[in-house]
Structure 1
Amino acid sequence: MDSPALELRGIDMHYGYVRALDTIDIEVRQGEVLGLLGDNGAGKSTLLKVMSGVHQPTAGEIRVHGTPATFASPADSTHAGIQMVYQDLALVDAQDISTNLNLGREILRKGPLGWLGFVDHKAQRRRSAAELEKLGVRTAAVTRPVEMLSGGQRQVVALARGATRVAGAERNGVLLLDEPTAALGYEQTQQVQALIRRLADQGVACILVTHNLPLAMAVCDRIAVLNRGRKVADVPVAETDNDQLVGWITGARPSMF
C-alpha cells in the first residue's frame, strides 16, 4: 500500500504551560477526504497550522508521501505540495479570477518586457480557463473581478487556486480547508461540496475542518475528532453517525483510544 500523502506522528504543541496538542497521530491518503471535527479550542486550527508550516510542533514527526519533512515556514509546506485555503479566502477583490488563480506563479511576457516583470495576462487567462475546465469548475468568466462574485463563487475560486497547485502532478498534494462553507447558503455549500469530491476523485488528499456535521457526513471518507488537544476518534464515515460524533465532540462519549 502507498504511503499516506501526509502523516503526522506524536505531534505535541505547547504554548508555555498550555498543551494545545497532545500526541496527535493523523494521516490522509491520496484521493481521501478527512474531516477534522471538534469544538472551539479543541486544537483543529493549531493542527492545521502545524500541517501548513505556520507553527512548528514542540515534538513529533511529519511525513509527506513517506518522506520525513520539516516545515520551518509556510513556504516549506507549499514546496512539499501542501496548500491551505483559509477561512477569509485571501483573495484580491479588485483583481480578476485569472489574476487570483495565478498569484505567486505569474506568467511573464517574453523578451525584454518579461525581464522587466510585465505579466502575460492572455497566457494566464488561457491557463486559468484550462485548469478550471480540468477541475470541472463552472464559474464566471476568468476576466471578472472577484469583488463582483457571490460568496459561493469566491469560495470556489479560493479552492480552485489551491487545487491547481496540488492536482495533476505524479504525486498529488494535500489541500487543507478551514471552514470552507461557514458563510455560505445551502446551494453554495452544495457547489463547494461537489468540488471537494471532484478533487478527491482526481487523487488530491483533502483535510476538511468544519462545524457542519451534515457536510462532513456527505463529503468525507473518514472523520477524526479532537477534544481538548487530544484525538478521541478516527473512524470511517460509514461506521459512525451524528450522535456518536456529537458525543466525541462534547466529551460525552469516551475516546476510542
Structure 2
Amino acid sequence: MTSTATSSPLRLEGITKHFGGVVAIKQFDLEVNAGEIVALVGDNGAGKSTLVKIISGLYQPTAGSIQLNGEPVSFNDAADARAKGVEVVYQDLALVDQQPVYMNLFLGRELRKGPLRTLDRKEMQRQTQGLVDDLDVRIPSAKAMLADLSGGQRQGIAIARATHWASGLVLMDEPTAALGVAETGKVEEVILKLKQRGAAVLIVSHNLDQVFRIADRVTVMRRGTQVGTRETAGTDKNEIIAMITGLTS
C-alpha cells in the first residue's frame, strides 16, 4: 500500500467543532499515512475523544473536511462511517462474552449461505483464524469463547475485528488503559503488526512511554487547539509534556 498526498487513508483539514458557544476543536489538520502510527495526546478535555467521534461519525464537524483514501467523505452517523470503512477500538470493548471469537469478529455482519441464509460458521471461523494468526493474536482458536480469554486477548480480538472491516484506517481510543504491563505489551505487538500490514493507525493514548514505543509521529492538543506534531524519533517526553501543559520554551 503506497501513500501519497492525495491517497492517504486519513486526511483532516481545518476540522472545527462548536457545541453552542463553546469551541471544542479549532482548525485541526492531520494526515495519517499507510503503514504509519500517529499518536494523539493531550490532557483531559483537550478534544482528543471529540476528534475521534468526528472521524467515526458520532459527531459532525462544524467546519473542515475529512478525506478517506483521497476521497472527501461526510458521515450522518457512526453506522454511515462504518459502512465507509472507519473502525474504532475503544477501551471498553463492544464484544459479547457468551459468543465465540469468530462470532464476535462478524458481530452484526455475519456471513450466510444457501437459500435459507443459514450462518456460514466454517467460513467465518476460517477467516477469523487466518486474521488472528496473521496478527499474532495468541488465542486457543477462533472457536474459543470470549469469556475464557484474558483482557489482552480480548483487546487483540477487538483490533482484529477493526482491521478486518476497516479500509486501511484503524482508530484507537485508549485501547490499553485498562490492561496491565504484560497485556499492554501484547496488544502493542498487535498494533505494530497492523503497521507492518500497511494500515494507518491513529491512537489516543495518555501513556507517553507507549507513544514513544510504537508511534511514528505524535500530535498534541491543548484545550481544543492543535499545538503541534512531532516525529517521535526527533523529540522526547519532556518536549511533549511541555506542549501538553503549555510550558513550551
Above 0.5 in TM-score?
A: yes
Q: Distance in 2 between matches of 1:214 and 1:249?
A: 15
Task: Tell me the equivalent position of 1:212.
Answer: 207
The letter for the 2-side match of 1:71 is: F
Q: Distance in 2 between matches of 1:71 and 1:240?
A: 35
Q: Distance in 2 between matches of 1:61 and 1:107?
A: 34
Task: Tell me the equivalent position of 1:145.
Answer: 145
- Find the residue that maps to 2:15 and give its secondary structure: strand
Q: What are the equivalent positions in structure 2 for 1:116-195 lying under 5 Å apart?
A: 118-166=118-166, 172-195=167-190
Q: Number of aligned residue pairs: give it.
A: 245
Task: Tell me the equivalent position of 1:109.
Answer: 113
Q: Distance in 2 between matches of 1:83 and 1:97?
A: 18
Task: Tell me the equivalent position of 1:243.
Answer: 238
Q: CA deviation at 1:239?
A: 0.9
Query: What TM-score results when the alignment is normalised by the length of structure 1?
Result: 0.92
| Alpha-carbon displacement from aligned partner over 1:194-215 (angstroms, at most 9, x marks no partner) | 1111101111000000101110
Q: CA deviation at 1:97?
A: 0.6
- Find the residue that maps to 2:119 and give its secondary structure: coil
Task: Tell me the equivalent position of 1:224.
Answer: 219
Task: Tell me the equivalent position of 2:196.
Answer: 201
Identity over aligned pairs, percent? 42
Q: Distance in 1 between matches of 2:84 and 2:113?
A: 28
More deviation, 77-86/90-99: 77-86
The letter for the 2-side match of 1:75 is: A
Q: Paired residue for 1:71, among 58, 68, 75?
A: 75
More deviation, 17-26/40-49: 17-26
Q: Paired residue for 1:54, among 54, 58, 81?
A: 58
- Find the residue that maps to 1:215 and give its secondary structure: helix
- Find the residue that maps to 1:127 and give its secondary structure: helix
Q: CA deviation at 1:38?
A: 0.4
Task: Tell me the equivalent position of 2:35.
Answer: 31
Task: Tell me the equivalent position of 1:43.
Answer: 47
Which runs of no fewer than 5 residues in structure 1 stay unpaired?
Answer: 167-171
| Alpha-carbon displacement from aligned partner over 1:155-183 (angstroms, at most 9, x marks no partner) | 111111101113xxxxx521000101101
- Find the residue that maps to 1:223 and give its secondary structure: strand
- Find the residue that maps to 1:35 and give its secondary structure: strand
Q: CA deviation at 1:134?
A: 2.5
Q: Distance in 2 between matches of 1:157 and 1:217?
A: 24
4+ residue segments displaced more than 3 Å: none
RMSD: 1.3
Q: CA deviation at 1:235?
A: 0.8
Task: Tell me the equivalent position of 1:169.
Answer: none
Q: CA deviation at 1:120?
A: 2.2
- Find the residue that maps to 1:72 and give its secondary structure: coil
Which runs of no fewer than 5 residues in structure 2 stay unpaired?
Answer: none
More deviation, 218-227/143-152: 143-152
Task: Tell me the equivalent position of 1:233.
Answer: 228
Q: Paired residue for 1:83, among 87, 97, 101?
A: 87
